[in-house]
A = this chain, B = another copy of it.
Amino acid sequence: MAWYNDTGKDCDVVLSSRIRLARNIAHLPFDGYLSRSDAEKVINDCKKIIEENSGTRDFEFCDFEKADAYQKTSLCEKHLISPEFAKKKGPHALIYSKDCDIGIMLCEEDHLRIQAFSRGLSLSPAYDKANKIDDLLSEKLEYAFSEKFGYLTKCPTNLGTAMRASVMVFLPALSLTDKISDVIRSVSKMGICVRGFYGEGSKSLASIYQISSDISLGISEEDMIKRVEDVTEKIAKLEREERRRIFENSKAQILDKIGRSCGILKNAYLMSSNEFFEHYKNLRLGISLGAVDNVSLETLDKLFVDTMPATLICENKSADKTECENSQRRDMLRAQMIKKALS
């Protein structure tokens, strides 16, 4: 079962929590100056440590010099890698847990980027998972660390704890009335920023935004996690108030929109991913307003990931990759998956 299949705290607004730790190996140059053999050594050392210490958990290894475009994009859709990582040249790899809640990007901007995910507003559990992996690796590897600057990273904005704490939030009401702009402005003063679906410079997708810590120097991991959680709870409260306000003012129109999206998802024969995002948004809002029966947030959020263009192809055994170059075939498969999941 994928991790995003769970329910979680504040699930009506918060989809998931994520911790990312950046680490570099001492005495090795940063990315861009790292030799091929050093990069391969970083990858192989980490792979070995995880293989020997994974315990009961299953991990997968993906060599990005060998992976095909669908695999790369699918991992990006699952947020296990950054879009930049997918495009990178030279040796780089990903180790990730089978249920996709842990990922270690090797030779990204930093030598190691450990990520852990958890459902709903739950940064501490995510931090615990990331920390465990970090402990395991740090036992065998020597990290680049300074008493003054903390973990040394390629980009100086990541110095200190080198941690980024972020949550994916669903803000259809705040974005409909564009109150999201005020929210973005006001949190930026607290070392926290609101970004699009794929992080820096990306747009929101289906009214999903990323709230994340923007500094890591001069603040402990625990304090930053608390700060992100506090801000997220405040935003969630605003979002809920806005949903109620909109619903009271335009009940018929909102129920109509939700009902239509539900009907279309259960009956369409072709469904593009962009169209799905729109219906996903309406249905997710509908579930939180109590206006949709028999569909859970978990089912819907799982569909959101499973029907992404590349993931759809990678995880559908019946899908022939060549055949799926044809977008109609993909849209047909997506519609079938959605129909099956919702009925």
Contacts and interface: CB of A to CB of B under 8 A. Distances in A.
Interface of A: 252-253, 255-256, 258-260, 262-270, 328, 332, 335
Contact of A256 (B253, B263, B266, B269): B269
Contact of A255 (B253, B255, B258, B269): B269
9 contacts: A252-B328, A252-B332, A253-B270, A255-B269, A256-B269, A260-B268, A263-B265, A263-B268, A264-B264
Given A259-B267, A263-B267, 19 more contacts: A252-B269, A252-B332, A253-B270, A255-B269, A256-B268, A256-B270, A256-B335, A259-B268, A259-B269, A260-B263, A260-B264, A260-B267, A260-B268, A260-B269, A262-B263, A263-B264, A263-B266, A264-B264, A266-B267
A260 B279 CA distance: 13
Nearest to A255: B269
A238 to B, nearest CB: 26
Contacts of A263: 260, 262-268
A241 to B, nearest CB: 23
Tally of this chain's copies = 2
Contacts of A260: 263-264, 267-269
A255 B258 CA distance: 22
Contacts of A252: 269-270, 328, 332
A264 to B, nearest CB: 5
Contacts of A264: 260, 263-264
Contacts of A262: 263, 267
* Chain B CB within 10 Å, residue with most, of A255, A258, A259, A332: A259
A263 B270 CA distance: 13
A326 to B, nearest CB: 11
Contacts of A265: 263
A77 to B, nearest CB: 24
9 tightest A-B contacts by CB? Answer: A263-B267, A263-B263, A256-B269, A259-B267, A255-B269, A256-B270, A259-B269, A263-B264, A262-B267
Contacts of A335: 256
A262 B339 CA distance: 14
A328 B335 CA distance: 31
A266 B266 CA distance: 11
A264 B267 CA distance: 9
Nearest to A265: B263
A194 to B, nearest CB: 32
A166 to B, nearest CB: 35
A260 B339 CA distance: 12
Nearest to A267: B263
